[in-house]
Amino acid sequence: AAAEPPEPEPGGRYEAVVPHWFYCKVTDTRERWVPFSAQDSERLEEAHGAGKDQDDVVVPTSGGRYDVHLRTRQRVAVYWEEEVSEVRRCTWFYKGDKDNKYIPYSESFSEELEEAYMIAVTLDEWKKKLESPNREVIILHNPKLMVHYHPVASSDDWVSTPTEQGRPRTVKRGVENIAVEIPSGEPLQIDHLVFVVHGIGPACDIRFRSIVQCVNDFRNVSLSMLQAHFKKAQEQQQVGRVEFLPVNWHSSLHSTGVDVDLERITLPSINRLRHFINDTILDVFFYNSSTYCQTIVDTVASEMNRLHQLFLQRNPLFKGGVSIAGHSLGSLILFDLLTNQKADPEEDEHRAQGSRTTSSTGSIEEVKEILKKLELSEYCDAFEKEKMDRQALFLCTEKNLKEMGIPLGPRMKILHYISSKAEIKVWSLSQHGNSPDDGRNCQYRDVGLGQVSANYPQLNYKPTIFFAFGSPIGMFLTVRGVKRIDPKYSLPTCKGFFNIFHPFDPVAYRIEPMIVPDLEFEPMLLPHHKGRKRMHLELKEGLTRMSVDLKNNLLGSLRVAWQSFTRAPVPALEAGSTEAEAEAEAGTEKQPDTKPEEPPTALKEEAPLINVGRLNGGNRIDYVLQEKPIESFNEYLFALQGHLCYWESEDTVLLVLKEIYQTKGITLDQPLPGSQ
């Protein structure tokens, strides 16, 4: 808290109080007043001072993620659904014995208090009494001592005890006199946009918080990492910040009415556990059902497209790229979406210009051939009118065909043709999936195998990098029958892919061994954000090295002893034997020196030579976090925490920022040891 203001002299000069804007955050029916950042409060005060309250002016705050409606004093979330918060221009505050923080008075009552304070200071007349709207009394004893008394209980009100009535609240004037941390605010310049997709269930971490709260943490950590590791670039105004926006698909899936159907068939016993399973773990099964998989991929793609469009509308000067990140099942959803994006630049151009049809005329002729083959030539005009090429035909659903006015019989014929062609394609992939020409014959032959039958929507942009946190992609690909990923394969529209996991995460699997199955190698160890390995890991490595040295020395000594014991006692060979013994001893002494050094040198030579294919542009894909000292005591105890740790992990956030800014040619102030 700031120092108390000096006590004014009798008849001293009055100085108006400096207001600060707060908003009310309600969690579990408990209200908490949170200050806006210094820059947001200044903006709101400026708009208020200009008399814009009457016009219902909207002021963007919190980096543009929330709008404040000045007239109604409401704070509204822009990109996601959230309860509207009350906003207040605060000048006077009170705190009771049971309150942790100061609570602001209403704006109207604060004005009354300020008027009374002004008169008291100007005329030097203190001991002023004011009655609040709740019949509570505030006494201004002097500038440093102002108290708030509860109303006196009536004779029939036996609930309030005299001690409760007599304990006053502390009253403070001005935000500088209360212990509250006011954030400075976020950089206005946004360099890059990242969409974050959650995994199973509505809760995303060990504290059962929503995706919005977890992404808020991730964003806050990114701001502190930028200040710590990109200071030079910030000073040169090369770096602003990265915006992270949450993508929620769980609520859309569970609003389809499936919860009611599940409730009917759920057994009444162990109610909470069954409800938890229905709400979380069943999401994996929903994704493997073609009906609900379609709902999920449609929701994720349309939500990311909507957010992207809305973000560009609100930030017209934004020139940065877009990346995507997925946690747990969210990473698998994104992976499946990315493997089904169209990479043809002509198609992208065609989609952007809208009316151009010259590039697809050949495909429309193919559709006519198909219809002719099915004896449905009379519907050619309908398909031509809708500019339906071969690719669009294979994305058609029964609903689409019905909307085109195609009768039931022809609809069934077309859908049967589409499904039979899809079956032939999957059969050919499984038959020839291991041929050396996979990359040439079919670009996404391996990874597309066994995917749930769904029409994967297209994104309106090409992601720069795809980050997977605690991802089961490797396991799902294996279960689908993908034995290996072609080294020549890369995601059609996204050139970067990082698979980041905690060593104890039970849901995470590696990707690199599927690309290079014949070579055993460790994942890349993610450097600690403070620039070194955690001490317990260094200690563990040191002890391992020491035990190898001891083992080699002991084996060498035993070998020499055994050789001398089994040697025949021939006097003529004594001189020779001593020489042989000396050589053997020399050999065993040299061995422990060279052996422990060999693996590191071998690794140093080997690390750059590991070719993990084009999935991440030739760079390493798997990155493992360093566990904390307490976590290394019991892997099983921290397994669940290991799966939910990414939101507040500085090491994860720093890797994300490092890779994003590397695409812009901006590097860390000081390279971290062990990083690429």
User: Would 451 be classed as within a structural domain?
Assistant: no
Closest alpha carbon to 586 in 550, 565, 556, 615? 556
Sign of the CA dihedral 597, 599, 604, 605?
positive
| Neighbouring residues of 437: CB distance < 8 A, sequence distance ≥ 6 | none
Tell me which long-range contacts 269-273 makes (C-beta under 8 A, separation of at least 24). Answer: none
Residue 552 lies in a domain: no
Q: Domain range for residue 394?
A: 367-423
Whether the pLDDT of residue 437 is over 70: the answer is no
pLDDT (average), residues 524-534: 76
Q: At residue 523, what is the residue type?
A: P
Q: What is the mean pLDDT of residues 84-105?
A: 88
Calculate the dihedral angle through the C-alpha atoms of 638, 644, 648, 649, rounding to the nearest 10 degrees: 60
Q: Which of 173, 207, 239 is a domain's end point?
A: 173
Element (H, E) at 642: helix 639-643
Place of tokens 């159907």: 261
Could you tell me if 632 and 519 lie in one domain? yes
Q: How far apart are CA 180 and CA 144, in angstroms?
A: 18
Question: In this structure, is residue 445 part of a structural domain?
Answer: no
Residue 403 lies in a domain: yes
Verify that 510 and 635 share a domain, yes or no. Answer: yes
Closest CA to 263 of 278, 280, 283: 278
**What's the total number of domains in the chain?**
3
Q: pLDDT (tens digit, 9 = 90+) per residue, 420-431?
A: 665 444 333 333
Q: Is residue 108 located within the same domain as residue 208?
A: no
The burial of 13, by beta-carbon neighbours within 10 Å (0-12 exposed, 13-18 middle, 19 or more buried), is given as exposed
Query: What phi and psi, each to the nearest 5 degrees, are found at residue 152?
Result: -70, 135
| Separation of first and last alpha carbons in the chain | 44
DSSP β-ladder status, 30-35 and 58-61: unpaired
pLDDT of residue 471: 95
Residue 345 — very low, low, confident or very high, per pLDDT cuts 50/70/90?
Answer: low
**Percent of the chain that is helix, strand, coil (3-state, to 5):** 45, 15, 40
Q: What mean pLDDT value characterizes the chain?
A: 79
Distance from C-alpha of 121 to C-alpha of 100, rounded to nearest angstrom: 30
φ, ψ dihedrals at 44, nearest 5°: -65, -40
Predicted model pTM: 0.72
Tell me, yes or no, whether 621 lies in a domain: yes
CA–CA separation, 214 vs 148, rounded Å? 38
Q: Which of 26-30, 507-511, 608-612 has the lowest mean pLDDT?
A: 608-612
**HSE of 57 in the Cβ direction (CA atoms, 13 Å)?**
15
Q: Give a yes or no: residue 604 inside a domain.
A: no
Which tens digits make up the pLDDT trace of 647-662? 999 999 999 999 999 9
- Spell 262-292 as b/e; 16+ CB within 10 A means b: beeeeeeeeeeeeeeebbbebbeebbeeeeb
At 171, list the tokens: 């009253």
Report the C-alpha gap between 360 and 12 in whole angstroms.
83
Query: What is the percent of the chain with per-residue pLDDT over 90, rounded to a whole number?
Result: 40
In a domain, 117, yes or no: yes
Residues 258 and 302 in one domain: yes
Active-site entry in 41, 85, 210, 328:
328
- Residues 226, 292, single domain; the answer is yes
- In this predicted structure, which of 24-33, 316-325, 391-400, 598-607 has the lowest mean pLDDT? 598-607
Q: Are strands 137-142 and 128-131 parallel, antiparallel or unpaired?
A: antiparallel
Helices 329-339/290-314 angle, 10° precision: 80
Q: Note whether 238 and 141 are same-domain residues.
A: no
Is 420 catalytic? The answer is no
